[in-house]
Amino acid sequence: MSDVDSTDTQQSGLGSRRLAWKAVTETLKRRVPLDDVLEELAPEERLSARDEALARAIAIVTFRRLGTLGWALRERLAKGTRDERLLHLLAIGAAQILFLDVPDHAAVDTAVQLAQDDHRLRHAGGLINAVLRRVARERDAILAAQDPWLDTPDWLERRWTAQYGEETAARIAEAHRSTASVDLTVKSDPALWAEKVEGLVLPTGSVRLTDRTAIRDLPGYGEGEWWVQDAAAALPARLLRVAPGERVADLCAAPGGKTAQLAAAGADVLAVDRSARRLKRLEENLERLGLRAQTLAVDAEKLEAPPFDAILLDAPCSATGTIRRHPDVPWTKTEQDIAKLTGLQTRLLDKAALLLKEKGRLVYCTCSLEAEEGERQAEEFLARHPDFVRVPIEATEIGNLAECLTEQGDLRTLPYHLANPGGDRGGLDGFFAARFMKQGQI
């Protein structure tokens, strides 16, 4: 499919904003991930890579600052409105004005044009123009009056305050307003690759990029020397401490960063995922990296296989630990989702226990900040399975980041850990991991 005519700058700009508007509206309406919606809608707009990237950037910052945008717009809509599509159009316009390096006139004019092209919103062009121009005039006042909790839904504020205390919870909320870092897991010699990609080596051994560069253009990409993986997400596979030749299962394996780590360590890996489509991408990634693993598209609860030496279970979860990277999560998930997911996690843990050899190791992890999906699951697993014991994680295994360990010896990373003093492109995904060993019959 060809790109749009790059000479038509105005239409190109409209295409980016139209895609962002549609994506925000559909994500909130259907409560599905923004990435999935963008993948579905992008072909309709036939945008260049640059314009598609702009649409993604607009949608992401709209979700990251949705609370601030909603508050600012409500303050400037004299009569209010219940038209969600109009509110979303205003939101993406205000997001550009307040948080992106976009000329004010471009944000305002394209929003007005999009309304005029939509028969249901043609009447709103004047309102959109007036509101967005006022947002631009009052930018400094809006940015100065921000509450740290403004961009977090009330249900998450209540949960995190109860779990972590007010101070830590507020730091989590503030961290979610910053852009996530891009980290690489390298096959060997992190210092060498940090120099080549102009990044820095983190205490955990990951390489963090310090500038925004197209991933495919970086040295080593084509040669398969590294892959993109948040530094926190890279820890659970390392904690499994696999040896060459060990038979290892990576349950719920896609997109495959942890599978790659296990394969690179020399393990005989079976990567299991219920989605054949996601496994296809995992296989493509392994091919680029020159790594091998067996793949199996099956629900992990139904997996039948001889016992494994070690199992990594990265269980489906609410993903509240990835909000810096996926800011749509707070606005598309609910507490009811967490309740459903904890049941699945419990069943997967029990299945993993059955699939493990005596003296085998199990690492359970989730990219969630919620205790039900982390600390409580670990305690309840041990209560159900007296033949398992916890193997505490040592600070030396995670780059001496002692603040990322619980009193019980489990891993608990928070978004503000390893923060950049400048406030952006730092931090870690929120992860929980616990390590167990099967003792056999007692």
What pLDDT is recorded for position 9?
A: 38
Q: Is residue 255 reached through a cis peptide bond, with omega within 30 degrees of 0 on the bond before it?
A: yes
Q: Is 317 a catalytic residue?
A: no
Assigned token pair, 51: 């314009």
C-beta of residue 389 within 8 angstroms of C-beta of residue 433:
no
- Domain CATH number, residue 239: 3.40.50.150
Indicate the helix (H) or strand (E) that contains 390: strand 388-390
Assigned token pair, 110: 């394209």
Share of the chain above pLDDT 90, in %: 89
Show which of 144, 166, 191 is a domain's final residue: 144
Asked whether the CA dihedral 241, 244, 248, 254 is positive or negative, the reply is positive
Domain span at 73: 9-144
Distance CA 144, CA 164 (A): 27
Distance CA 367, CA 329 (A): 12
Beta bridge partners of 273: 297
> The tokens 């843990």 sit on which residue?
349
Q: Give the number of domains in the chain.
A: 2
What pLDDT is recorded for position 10?
A: 45
Instruction: Please give the average per-residue pLDDT across 290-305, as a whole number.
Output: 96
Q: Is the pTM of this model over 0.75?
A: yes
Say which of 252, 317, 365, 367 is annotated catalytic: 367
Q: What is the pLDDT of residues 359-407, one digit of tens each?
A: 999 999 999 999 999 999 999 999 999 999 999 999 999 999 999 999 9
Assigned token pair, 403: 């603040």
Residue 305 has pLDDT above 60, yes or no: yes
Instruction: Please give the average per-residue pLDDT across 151-170, as a whole number.
Output: 97
Distance CA 37, CA 22 (A): 9
- Domain CATH number, residue 126: 1.10.940.10
Distance CA 311, CA 436 (A): 10
What pLDDT is recorded for position 1?
A: 31
Assigned token pair, 176: 């979610």
Show which of 144, 174, 206 is a domain's final residue: 144
DSSP 283-296: HHHHHHHT---EEE
Distance CA 183, CA 200 (A): 9
Q: Count CA within 13 A, CB hemisphere, residue 21.
A: 24
Residue 8 has pLDDT above 50, yes or no: no
Same domain? For 121 and 188 the reply is no
3-state secondary structure at position 317: coil
Same domain? For 129 and 199 the reply is no
In terms of DSSP bridges, do strands 431-438 and 356-366 run parallel, antiparallel, or are they unpaired?
Answer: antiparallel
What pLDDT is recorded for position 6?
A: 33
Q: What is the pLDDT of residues 58-105, one digit of tens each?
A: 999 999 999 999 999 999 997 777 899 999 999 999 999 999 999 999
What pLDDT is recorded for position 422?
A: 58
Same domain? For 98 and 224 the reply is no
Q: What is the pLDDT of residues 101-129, one digit of tens each?
A: 999 999 999 999 999 999 999 999 999 99
